[in-house]
Structure 1
Amino acid sequence: MSAPIFAQEATQERAENARLSSFVGALALGDLVASTLGPKGMHKILQSVGSNSLEITNDGATILKSIHLDNPAAKILVNISKVQDDEVGDGTTSVCVLAAELLREAEKLIEKRIHPQTVVEGYRIASAAALRALDRDARDNGADPAAFRRDLVNIARTTLSSKVLSADKDYFANLAVDAVQRLKGSTNLENIQIIKKVGGKLTDSYLDEGFILDKRIGTNCPKRIEGARILIANTSMDTDKIKVFGARVRVEGTGKLAELERAEREKMKAKVERIKAHGINCFINRQLIYNYPESILADAGIMSIEHADFEGVERLALVTGGEIASTFDRPDLVKIGACDTIEEIIIGEDRLIKFSGVAAGEACTVVLRGATSQMVDEAERSLHDALSVLSQTVKETRVTLGGGCAEMSMSKEVDEEARQTAGKKALATEAFARALRQLPTILANNAGLDSADLVSRLRAAHQAGDRDAGLDLDEGKIKSMLDLGITESYKLKRAVVNSASEAAELILRVDDVLRCAPRRREGH
């Protein structure tokens, strides 16, 4: 028995106990999100204890970000889910479930006294074989614009099938593809703004060519401007009072006070004159604009918009081609934004400002409508996933088939690789294939179908050479995914396999868990 070397409250879990702790945490997390996988996945309610905030979602990344964990292995799965969300935008549930299934299979092998390093080597062989099969089956229609648009619409439909927008997936798939194709190959989704307005139904949502700002035009200002020259600023436009905390100004009488107020007004008037010297007809400020400067701008025929929050002015500067200014002494150094028209529009009962013909021609706005705030929030998350996947597919134009087709094809390739692998590594390679087959099994289970029968028939179809066979969860049959148009991004599927296998390897290598007590502050 080793001598105790740790300070008070520090603990150590070793060998089997450490591995068991890691497996239990990862498997519990995988089981938690497994029921949300696929077009028939269920939703989770996320409720904050002690407050009325409430979210209803089946988005893996949102669920995993919202739960506080103590298990280190479970935190690793949360991290790979976040990376998947940042890199591709979708597949967050798939990567977590696949990693958990790989660890479930590894646990069975370790119980048979197979060393974790042997399992890791077998998993690496299997991962390489799976990616080879994915490369072989991928199709690329990037050179044919019409066929590539069909691929993009199918990818969007497949992505939205598992979301709250599934009932209207055709409508939103075309909306998402139109928005992404406006980006002309860019992956900068900052040019696509999403505005949420509760009311109406989901299909009342629409794509607007231009930029919409959820603010109001100043009092007595023009409500419509053509050929707009826009100065975007982040400057104080309230009365320039003395802003030193606790400062006092003593005056001898009301006459002196009037002089002080007059001096402040003159100072503000001079600042507005410097702003007018830029030759603009629209002034947008991140901060408040008080009545006096607003009236001077209105008299000069300049539209003023106040309190455009930081995200608003950042996006405006991006899409109008301007810069955010804080000082106005050198008009020649300030880059002025431009657009064809600025006008006030009404959505539901709210007034908003629309900028049409902006300098960044790819800029557009998606206005989302829905019955409740929870519905609109989930619709935004769903649409963001679709937009992210589509923008990545525009760069990496290869696509692969969904519905469990790609997983079964990779599983077949891994099984063939296992037959040519010598030693105990072959057992780990076979285990990797079984983990891949678990994804279509979970899809069928979530749809309330007989997964054992369906997956065995799907496996037989692939063994017979039917490489586009997959699960039709609506009819509970094996059908051609190519005919049904169930398509997924190649980059997404590759990222899922890579991330899940690397996370499983990382956790398998653990043989000690050391928990240290927080350092205590010395009393003063």
Structure 2
Amino acid sequence: MAAMMQPQIILLKEGTDTSQGRAQVVSNINACTAVGDTVRTTLGPRGMDKLIHDDKGGVTISNDGATIMRLLDIVHPAAKILVDIAKSQDSEVGDGTTTVVLLAAEFLKEAKPYVEDGVHPHSLIRSYRNAGNMAIQRVKELAVSIEGKSLEEKKSLLAKCAATTLSSKLIGGEKEFFASMVVDAVLAIGNDDRLNLIGIKKLALELLCKMLCNAVSGSAGCYAKVQVPGGTMRDSFLVNGVAFKKTFSYAGFEQQPKKFLNPKILLLNIELELKSEKENAEIRLSDPLQYQSIVDAEWNIIYDKLDKCVKSGAKIVLSRLAIGDLATQYFADRDIFCAGRVTEEDLQRVAAATGGTVQTSVNNVIDEVLGSCEVFEEKQVGNERFNIFSGCPSGQTATIVLRGGADQFIEEAERSLHDAIMIVRRALKNSTVVPGGGAIDMEISKYLRQHARTIAGKSQFFVNSFAKALEVIPRQLCDNAGFDATDVLNKLRQKHASGEGANYGVDINTGGIADSFANFVWEPAVVKINAINAATEASCLILSVDETVKNPKSESAQGNAAAGAMGGRGGGAMRGRGGRGMRRR
């Protein structure tokens, strides 16, 4: 009776929503599985693309896991963890973003029956962590080093890694062509970690024959949307130096020379044009004749700057700010090439390549601050002109020029090349590769199944489930290519169990199995290690959450934001999937 009379203890504000217990864990697992199902079909060389239409009317076509996860408007708090691991995989190694989401979702899917049967999540977490560590150790044992090879051998091996990455992209049809280009670009920047030293210029293309696509070089982050007739993907080229689109020019520009051998290059961050007085400037004259001296002073200032540029011995003058019509004609009369309004990024890349230093004044310009290159030329690409600096002394920059059929194609091609560039850089730094095509996943799965038989207790089931989840990669490769996944997986299990098929994976061309290593389907070991590690940590984190608390303020704020977004949108596909743990109204 005394127990019944105890007052109710109120800890949280009225209206606070709490969801806890087994139902909450299952709800989180269901949300993550739904996210995994969204990107599942994009895996592998025969993966499908996703067309994502945002609230601003922009359209993105991509099969890159990180891009899709970033553009999906996911509001479920647990499912957002999968977005984070896709981002971390993209920034860390550049590829394997779909793989990491798929593995995390599959680990959770395999854990769901045990959670529903009353198994404590920490038993699962402990077994998953042990299995993940063993899997990573096994990957390191199976990895093959490419250290100690000659430059030509190393280039060949790196090109095969890049080709494996590009095989699942839109430009997979020309993967050998782009793979060698990517390897040359990465080797050109040496050990420098700055990715912006590899530029990618994009030009849109309008063709009467829609079957033709192109690719052209340029500078990272500078997007030129231009209609360029003709050409194919193989018109793409790599500049061992810097290339950027011709900037806005004044009269007199066409009189300037368009090609130089071994020129000196002056880089400026000042305006070279006649400046009038400020709007609020006030000058009082006692004699009208003095006005001419003020006008003359303005002209003398600009001519003094131009004289100093000429005396420096530079044959090419680039400035981040405007170079006016007077300066353009002045330089043309003295056989000097100039370009104003060059973007900050392009100017910095020219400085890195030519060894020059950007100047904020033309006073005391010495030889040490001037850059140089073997050849400078202005080259016609379609209907556009590019300024190309090649044979640069530091050789620490490279530019890929891309041409393509539509804006979406060009953007996806750039994302594909970014992934390939990241993979080649990682392979260079870590120097170990593993067979792709699901071969490494099947081998780890077999290894963990064998280990599970030596474990007494419930952990045997959990490690076995972890091993089964790893088979999602070869299974999904088969499903996406239209093959019989059950038949192919049975063949793979038999081959790996024989002890001689560690390198055997899915043959995407015949629908059977093949030696992935012999077929040059390789990927850096760091990609697989990072994917298994991130997926295991994410699944363990989601399994460890058994309660979600939402205070009324955050819920109403989210509701208002969602209502505002719904006003200009047809309703996001991922928005109303709250799961059982969300408050019902």
Normalized against structure 1, the TM-score is what?
Answer: 0.92
Name the structure 2 match of 1:509.
544
Partner SS for 1:483: coil
| Cα offset, 1:223, TM superposition | 1.6
From 289, 300, 304, the counterpart of 1:266: 300
Counterpart of 2:445 in structure 1: which amino acid? S
**1:266 and 1:2, CA in 2 relative to 1: closer, same or farther beyond 3 A?**
farther
From 427, 441, 446, the counterpart of 1:412: 446
| Cα offset, 1:342, TM superposition | 1.4
Separation in 2 of the partners of 1:110 and 1:118?
10
Name the structure 2 match of 1:481.
516
Separation in 1 of the partners of 2:45 and 2:475?
13
Once structures 1 and 2 are overlaid, which stretch shifts more, 333-342 or 462-471? Answer: 333-342
Separation in 1 of the partners of 2:108 and 2:353?
47
Instruction: Report whether the alignment pairs 1:424 with 2:424.
Output: no
Name the structure 2 match of 1:165.
171
| Cα offset, 1:32, TM superposition | 0.7
Residues 114 and 424, structure 1, Cα contact 8 Å, conserved in 2? no
**1:239 and 1:25, CA in 2 relative to 1: closer, same or farther beyond 3 A?**
farther
Normalized against structure 2, the TM-score is what?
Answer: 0.83
Summarize deviations over 1:416-435 as a string: whole Å, max 9, x none: 22222232222221111111
Name the structure 1 match of 2:341.
307
From 475, 478, 498, the counterpart of 1:444: 478
| Cα offset, 1:38, TM superposition | 0.5
| Cα offset, 1:260, TM superposition | 4.4
**1:346 and 1:462, CA in 2 relative to 1: closer, same or farther beyond 3 A?**
same
Name the structure 2 match of 1:128.
133
Residues 129 and 417, structure 1, Cα contact 8 Å, conserved in 2? no
Separation in 2 of the partners of 1:64 and 1:285?
39
Name the structure 2 match of 1:37.
43
Residues 18 and 512, structure 1, Cα contact 8 Å, conserved in 2? yes
Counterpart of 1:247 in structure 2: which amino acid? N
Q: Which runs of 5+ in 2 are unaligned?
A: 1-6, 206-230, 558-585
Partner SS for 1:331: coil
Separation in 2 of the partners of 1:331 and 1:248?
31
- Quote the RMSD (CA, aligned, Å): 2.5
Counterpart of 1:371 in structure 2: which amino acid? G
Name the structure 1 match of 2:569.
none
**1:262 and 1:478, CA in 2 relative to 1: closer, same or farther beyond 3 A?**
same
Separation in 2 of the partners of 1:267 and 1:423?
87
| Cα offset, 1:494, TM superposition | 0.9
Q: Which runs of 5+ in 1 are unaligned?
A: none
Counterpart of 2:544 in structure 1: which amino acid? R
From 354, 360, 382, the counterpart of 1:348: 382
Identity of matched residues, %: 32
Separation in 2 of the partners of 1:487 and 1:63?
24
Name the structure 2 match of 1:189.
195
From 494, 499, 513, the counterpart of 2:529: 494
Q: How many residues are paired up?
A: 518
**1:293 and 1:206, CA in 2 relative to 1: closer, same or farther beyond 3 A?**
closer
Once structures 1 and 2 are overlaid, which stretch shifts more, 9-18 or 398-407? Answer: 9-18
Counterpart of 2:26 in structure 1: which amino acid? L
1:97-112 matches, cutoff 5 A = 97-112=102-117
Separation in 2 of the partners of 1:276 and 1:172?
41
Summarize deviations over 1:34-86 as a string: whole Å, max 9, x none: 110011100011222343x2221111111111122211222211111111111
**1:424 and 1:348, CA in 2 relative to 1: closer, same or farther beyond 3 A?**
same
Counterpart of 1:22 in structure 2: which amino acid? N
Instruction: Report whether the alignment pairs 1:394 with 2:428.
Output: yes
Name the structure 2 match of 1:206.
237
Residues 339 and 355, structure 1, Cα contact 8 Å, conserved in 2? yes
Once structures 1 and 2 are overlaid, which stretch shifts more, 402-411 or 162-171? Answer: 162-171
Once structures 1 and 2 are overlaid, which stretch shifts more, 365-374 or 347-356? Answer: 365-374
Residues 418 and 427, structure 1, Cα contact 8 Å, conserved in 2? yes
Separation in 2 of the partners of 1:335 and 1:8?
68
From 145, 150, 159, the counterpart of 1:153: 159
Instruction: Report whether the alignment pairs 1:78 with 2:73.
Output: no
| Cα offset, 1:101, TM superposition | 0.8
Partner SS for 1:288: coil
Summarize deviations over 1:88-140 as a string: whole Å, max 9, x none: 11111111111111111122221121111111110111112211221221111
| Cα offset, 1:2, TM superposition | 7.2
From 372, 397, 407, the counterpart of 1:338: 372
Partner SS for 1:230: strand
**1:335 and 1:15, CA in 2 relative to 1: closer, same or farther beyond 3 A?**
farther
Instruction: Report whether the alignment pairs 1:290 with 2:324.
Output: yes
Separation in 2 of the partners of 1:2 and 1:101?
42
| Cα offset, 1:362, TM superposition | 4.3
Residues 251 and 257, structure 1, Cα contact 8 Å, conserved in 2? no
Summarize deviations over 1:256-294 as a string: whole Å, max 9, x none: 766544433322223333444533222111111111233
Counterpart of 1:207 in structure 2: which amino acid? L
Residues 319 and 358, structure 1, Cα contact 8 Å, conserved in 2? yes
Residues 26 and 115, structure 2, Cα contact 8 Å, conserved in 1? no
Partner SS for 1:12: strand
Separation in 2 of the partners of 1:334 and 1:143?
38
Instruction: Report whether the alignment pairs 1:369 with 2:374.
Output: no
